[in-house]
Structure 1
Amino acid sequence: MAKISGRRLAAAAITAALVVTGAATASASAAEAGDAPMFGLYGLDGSGNAYTYVPQGDGTLSARVQFETGMTNLKFVGLVDNDADNLADGRWQLGTSGNIYYYEGNSPAKKIGYGWDIYNTVVSVGQFGGAEGGDLLARDNKGDVYLYLGYGDGTVTKRLKVGYGWDIYTQIAGNGDLDGDGKGDLVARDKSGVLWLYKGTGDQKAPYAKRTKIGSGWNQYNTLFAAGDLNMDGRTDLVARNAKGELYLYAGTGNAAAPYKPKALIGTSGWNTYRLFF
């Protein structure tokens, strides 16, 4: 049973935090150059319980609030902003059956596709291909990458093949602008632990530029997730979890040459309880 009150509480708390900290002004200014979603952070545990953590304006997170129950047999959950106000309008859920659904508010779930069990990775990448709504990027077992452009109502276009050879990556993350050019970007970690930046182009036929190296040593983490703006400075951040269950924030800089600040510990233990972040 959905706990819609949790979603409303999270949205209200994020809005209130923006006003209280004065980050709303900073975010509006940054949005002129880029896009920093303010979704908060959600975790889904192995029992199907989802919780939300509200940003406090300094990179830390609130105590968790239950968002929903019964979210079992899922391969992917992704929030999406369809109207470019940097707040989540709905979410996609991909089940182990290969069916993908869109949820928005109190409306019934909308089935938007089937056969998606061919993909081992799906990422909600924001407005990546220049379409009206948020988009989805999916990788199959061969390493081919496909882009699904969003219509703005949770439905998506037929897939467009935009890459191959991506089976070299163990983590792919992206939901926002990392370099301040107003286009959504991606980061991907390879098997040797090197993290790479793919700058977005806004062109659906070739949505990202040639990769550039961010840094090495990222194999210390078992999960990387682009959670939008968690410290409310108007820039897109990255969250990383290690095997001990510690959670780290890599705050965005807006500079493609060095897109993240040094890591900051935001969760000391227990974060291994979550099998998915969204």
Structure 2
Amino acid sequence: MVVSAVTLAAAALAVGTVTALPHAPWSSEPAASGEVAVVKSAAAVTGPKTLSLFGRKSNGHLYDYEPNGTGGVKAAVDLGGGFGEATALVQAGQSENGAGSDLYFRMANTLYYTAERGSETKIVGNGWDIFNLLMSPGNLGGTAQDDIVGRDAAGALWLYQGKADGMLLARIRIGTAGWNGMDVLTGRGDYTGDGKSDLIARSTTGTLYIYPGTGNATADAALGARVTVGTGWGTATYKTLVSTGDSNGDGKADLIAVDPAGALWLFKGTGNASAPFAARVQIGTTGWTAFNTLF
């Protein structure tokens, strides 16, 4: 997946009609039917995925850190520039049987999708500036593909279930007003040991929570009662929290953190809701605060 500003501009002219709108009605049907490229369908994936860690620097370049299989990351690969104007960057494994590190990005109120193994960038929809946060929790809605979650200005959460071609189904509300009290939403996979993808949230006061996924993709039913992981997780301790799934290959979803000094830390998942993470392990030295976005 090498994308530059030039290919983005060309792709924007080549793509057909909008296929998913942020203001789509609550429905299990696609918001609209548009012109899309054919890509491989994603098969159902068992267990958490292991995806790369991506970072964006102020020069607009994206850097890909592939997992090394033991919890750390390999040397960075520069994927190219042109992403300096993106107001949201989201990784999702839609293609390559759910293993590909595909990318959604928002520019000028429009959400785009590009596949890791594809050559085309596609328009997903317009009107996406209504969300002040976009992320992917993995497969929260129970389909084979990863999903997108957006938070609107009122603090409500909305789930867009993914499709194998990178497009999205119509939105479903999964959280009512109040989510603006969280400054981080992350998670990719199961943290509680029940086999369902969960959502991790950090409050502005530094408390970390897990919202267990139910696998029920109906309005206000996708998340269970939250579990408190602990306090002291605020920005004074960790500037960034992000998950790429199962970082160390043990079958459990993990959490990655960057401290104010720029060091990278891995919290290995245990699969136990009462104590979901083992003691942190340093996997990167100083320098990680050079990224303005990690995902």
- State the TM-score, normalizing by the size of structure 2: 0.79
Q: Matched residues in 1 for 2:72 and 2:232: separation?
A: 24
1:51 aligns with 2:63: yes
1:209 aligns with 2:224: yes
1:225 aligns with 2:242: yes
Unaligned runs of 5+ in 1: 5-31
The letter for the 1-side match of 2:182 is: Y
1:177 aligns with 2:190: yes
Match of 2:114 in 1: 103
Q: Matched residues in 1 for 2:293 and 2:88: separation?
A: 7
Cα distance 1:106–1:129, how it changes in 2: closer, same or farther (>3 A)? closer
Decide which of 126, 131, 140 is 1:128's aligned counterpart: 140
Q: Deviation of residue 181 (structure 1)?
A: 2.1
1:69 aligns with 2:86: no
CA contact (8 A) 2:52 2:101 kept: no
Q: Percent identity?
A: 35
CA contact (8 A) 2:267 2:280 kept: yes
Match of 1:186 in 2: 199
The letter for the 2-side match of 1:102 is: Y
3-state secondary structure, aligned to 1:227: coil
Q: Matched residues in 2 for 1:85 and 1:33: separation?
A: 8
Q: Deviation of residue 146 (structure 1)?
A: 0.6
* 1:66-124 alpha-carbon deviations (Å, 9 max, x no partner): 122222211222222236955125221112x1110110123311101111111111111
1:200 aligns with 2:213: yes
3-state secondary structure, aligned to 1:221: coil
3-state secondary structure, aligned to 1:82: coil
CA contact (8 A) 1:34 1:181 kept: no
Match of 1:26 in 2: none
Cα distance 1:68–1:190, how it changes in 2: closer, same or farther (>3 A)? same
Match of 2:2 in 1: 2
CA contact (8 A) 2:111 2:128 kept: yes
RMSD after superposition: 2.1
Q: Matched residues in 1 for 2:267 and 2:2: separation?
A: 31
CA contact (8 A) 2:92 2:138 kept: yes
Unaligned runs of 5+ in 2: 5-43
Cα distance 1:147–1:267, how it changes in 2: closer, same or farther (>3 A)? same
CA contact (8 A) 1:76 1:94 kept: yes
Decide which of 128, 132, 137 is 1:116's aligned counterpart: 128
Q: Matched residues in 1 for 2:278 and 2:46: separation?
A: 17
Match of 2:51 in 1: 39
Q: Matched residues in 2 for 1:58 and 1:215: separation?
A: 26
CA contact (8 A) 2:51 2:101 kept: no
Match of 1:9 in 2: none
Match of 1:275 in 2: 292
1:87 aligns with 2:104: no
3-state secondary structure, aligned to 2:247: coil
Q: Matched residues in 2 for 1:3 and 1:103: separation?
A: 9
3-state secondary structure, aligned to 1:74: coil
Cα distance 1:118–1:188, how it changes in 2: closer, same or farther (>3 A)? same
CA contact (8 A) 1:100 1:111 kept: yes
3-state secondary structure, aligned to 1:66: strand
Q: Deviation of residue 266 (structure 1)?
A: 1.3
